[in-house]
Chains A and B, each alone.
Chain A
Amino acid sequence: MDYKVIDGLKYTRQHEWARQENGTAVVGLSDYAQHKLGEIVFVELPDVGAEVEAGKSAAVIESVKAVADLYAPLDGKVTEVNEALLDQPEVINQDPYGEGWVFKVEIKDASQLEALMDKPAYEEFIIKEEEEE
């Protein structure tokens, strides 16, 4: 596997990750996604307090190659956003699973999180996606 996939996180088919943390889910972009996008130059964050909906666009990531939506992995209210990304969007490239987190959302329905892919399933998903192209 050329891309880092971390144990203990949940992954979406649109290549977001979510990590449970005291009743909220921290959301970010997977290492695979940041590789595909290339160098990220701009991030548009949701408003704190905004309601996001699973599968709907919650943030916008712009790289030198493309502009991509970041889809919310689950429903809920945004409790915090990573404002450091506004000045240093490249942190997503450097540390997608750590300092490069994008926003936190209150967990309404934990089963939504449970339904996402775990590490082995996501790894398999990436391999399949790579083959298809």
Chain B
Amino acid sequence: MRKAKALLFEMGRPGRQGYSLPSNDVPEKSLEELLPKKMLRQEPLELPELSEVEVIRHYTELSTRNFGVDTGFYPLGSCTMKYNPKVNEDVAALPGFALMHPCQPEETVQGALELYYNMEQHLKELTGMDRFTMQPSAGAHGELTGLMVIQAYHRNRGDHDRNKVLIPVTAHGTNPATVTMAGYEVIQIPADERGNVDLEALKEVVDETTSALMLTNPSTLGLFEEEIVEMAKVVHDAGALLYYDGANLNAIMGYARPGDMGFDVVHLNIHKTLSTPHGGGGPGSGPVGVKERLIPYLPVPLVDKKEDRFYFDYDLPDSIGKVQSFYGNFGVVVKAYNYVCMMGGAGLKQVSTDAVLNSNYLASLLQKTYFIPYDRIRKHEFVVSAKPEKKKGAGAGDIAKALLDRGFHPPTVYFPLIVDEALMTEPNDTESKETLDDYARAMEEIARDIEEDAEKVAAGPYHTVGGRLDEVRAARSPVLRWQKE
């Protein structure tokens, strides 16, 4: 494989150029005449001097180093790195969507408002909630919005002492950060031996200072909370609310709805669950849905319909306000809307069926070689513990590097924290049996390699552009940009 290459700044040669301008046919004026002196650069700007083909080759070569869902298997747990149909892009690029301006008057963007309105109806049906805002930019932003709505609800009732949010150890990683950001104290709830939230522990800590329980269901262990209805009752009886992190909704679409389980607020990661590119591939979108009693606190504006006309509804006096300039990441919602319409209800249910089937199939293959704690039927993901391998000399991080050598993106490593040497693996609905078999074979090979020569595995990868990167130095003294010597 190609090794790291020179930077453009290092490649440049004085006098080389990638353009030639036509001769000037208007009278020339000097910059000094046009701009105030203080705005003029004292020294010439130092840019690399290169020919066009050099620049093209450089960036084309860099682009081939990207690893994405379009290049290979990407089982990054809880991130739902599934294939995103290209037709989503075509639809979002239609000039009527792509060339719109957010300041256009309502009557000229009726189609866009209708799309938001329709999408809201679909999301309500999918989750069992009563209203949605499309404003939040992604999952964590949705979480913050949801907690602010909960805060406003308690405050409006004169209930000022609720300063704690409960989070299970199996929750999605962003939850504690959101809670802290919203000004709450995080109270962690342990898991029981089946991997569920420990109901007794929950009962012990929930009280009149609890604002909400934040839950990811199924959890990051890929396990469905078996006692969710009882948990909801415990939380509601204490006057607190239930928050649903939709990170793993792709496991239960069409089978179960957070609204029916008793959740008061949900956020969805439609860029994951409803297949729009994410990660390096595009922005996210984290719509937040609420039950009836929380609607007054949603961000303004909501999109509503009067007779045949769609409009922005700003008439929510108790609203938490705007959480995003304009109306959210519209293009992402267009893509997700296209996906929902294309799949239909039965199709979305099939997505969850396949995600769960693939996960359980892959887990059953890996279980022959690896230890997978909490031996239950899993949902869309499962967590391997590489603790036995670690004892032999190569742990989760080393297995991840060895997977890179075999052309796979590794699972999420070292999370959730409740599993030692965790490899959180989410194969998704869009992968074939052959891909899963290949991955399982690679994992078996790695286990054999560790058995034979753990030290060698721990020093990999050997076939990637950069080899083993120094993560410690990268974290302690990062080099963030090129600097002239």
Interface magnitude class on chain B: 10 to 19
Smallest beta-carbon distance A132→chain B, Å: 10
Interface magnitude class on chain A: 10 to 19
Indicate if B37 sits at the interface (CB-CB under 8 A): no
Indicate if A115 sits at the interface (CB-CB under 8 A): no
Query: Could you mark each residue 110-133 of chain A with 1 if its beta carbon is under 8 Å from any beta carbon of chain B, else 0?
Result: 000000000000000000000001
CB–CB A64/B417 < 8 A? no
Indicate if A39 sits at the interface (CB-CB under 8 A): yes
Query: Could you mark each residue 383-419 of chain B with 1 if its beta carbon is under 8 Å from any beta carbon of chain A, else 0?
Result: 0010100000000010000000000000001110101
CB–CB B387/A39 < 8 A? no
Indicate if A32 sits at the interface (CB-CB under 8 A): no
CB–CB A64/B472 < 8 A? yes
Indicate if A54 sits at the interface (CB-CB under 8 A): no
CB–CB B471/A133 < 8 A? no
CB–CB B475/A64 < 8 A? yes
Smallest beta-carbon distance B418→chain A, Å: 9
CB–CB B471/A39 < 8 A? yes
Q: How far is the CA of A66 from the CA of B396 in the complex (A)?
A: 13
Indicate if A90 sits at the interface (CB-CB under 8 A): yes
Would you give 21 A-B contacts (Cβ < 8 Å), ordered by A?
Answer: A36-B420, A39-B471, A39-B472, A41-B472, A41-B475, A42-B475, A42-B476, A64-B471, A64-B472, A64-B475, A65-B397, A65-B414, A66-B414, A66-B415, A66-B417, A89-B476, A90-B476, A133-B373, A133-B385, A133-B387, A133-B419
A56 nearest CB neighbor, chain B only: B185
Which residues on A are within 8 Å of B, measured CB to CB? 36, 39, 41-42, 62, 64-66, 89-90, 133
Q: List the count of A-B residue pairs having beta carbons below 8 Å apart.
A: 26
B473 nearest CB neighbor, chain A only: A41
Q: Tell me if B's interface is mostly helix, strand, loop or mixed.
A: mixed
Q: How far is the CA of A66 from the CA of B413 in the complex (A)?
A: 10
Q: How far is the CA of A111 from the CA of B420 in the complex (A)?
A: 33
Smallest beta-carbon distance B204→chain A, Å: 15
Question: Which of B413, B415, B420, B472 sits near A90, CB closer than 8 Å?
Answer: B472
Q: How far is the CA of A123 from the CA of B476 in the complex (A)?
A: 32
Question: Which of A41, A65, A66 sits near B476, CB closer than 8 Å?
Answer: A41
Most B CB atoms within 10 A — which of A42, A65, A89, A90? A65
Residues of B within 8 A of A64 (CB): 471-472, 475
Smallest beta-carbon distance B186→chain A, Å: 9
Residues of A within 8 A of B415 (CB): 66
Residues of A within 8 A of B414 (CB): 65-66
Q: How far is the CA of A66 from the CA of B373 in the complex (A)?
A: 20
Q: How far is the CA of A89 from the CA of B420 in the complex (A)?
A: 23
Residues of A within 8 A of B475 (CB): 41-42, 62, 64
B185 nearest CB neighbor, chain A only: A56
4 smallest CB-CB distances across A and B, nearest first, come from: A41-B475, A65-B414, A39-B472, A64-B471
Question: Which of A39, A62, A133 sits near B420, CB closer than 8 Å?
Answer: A133
Q: How far is the CA of A60 from the CA of B387 in the complex (A)?
A: 25
Residues of A within 8 A of B373 (CB): 133
| Besides A64-B471, A64-B472, A65-B397, 15 other A-B contacts (C-beta < 8 A) | A36-B420, A39-B471, A39-B472, A41-B476, A42-B476, A64-B475, A65-B413, A65-B414, A66-B414, A66-B415, A90-B476, A133-B373, A133-B387, A133-B419, A133-B420
For chain B, residues 440 to 481, give those with C-beta under 8 angstroms from any C-beta of chain A: 471-472, 475-476
A133 nearest CB neighbor, chain B only: B420
Q: How far is the CA of A41 from the CA of B471 in the complex (A)?
A: 9
B476 nearest CB neighbor, chain A only: A41
Residues of B within 8 A of A90 (CB): 472, 476
A2 nearest CB neighbor, chain B only: B391
Residues of A within 8 A of B419 (CB): 133
Residues of A within 8 A of B397 (CB): 65
Smallest beta-carbon distance B385→chain A, Å: 7
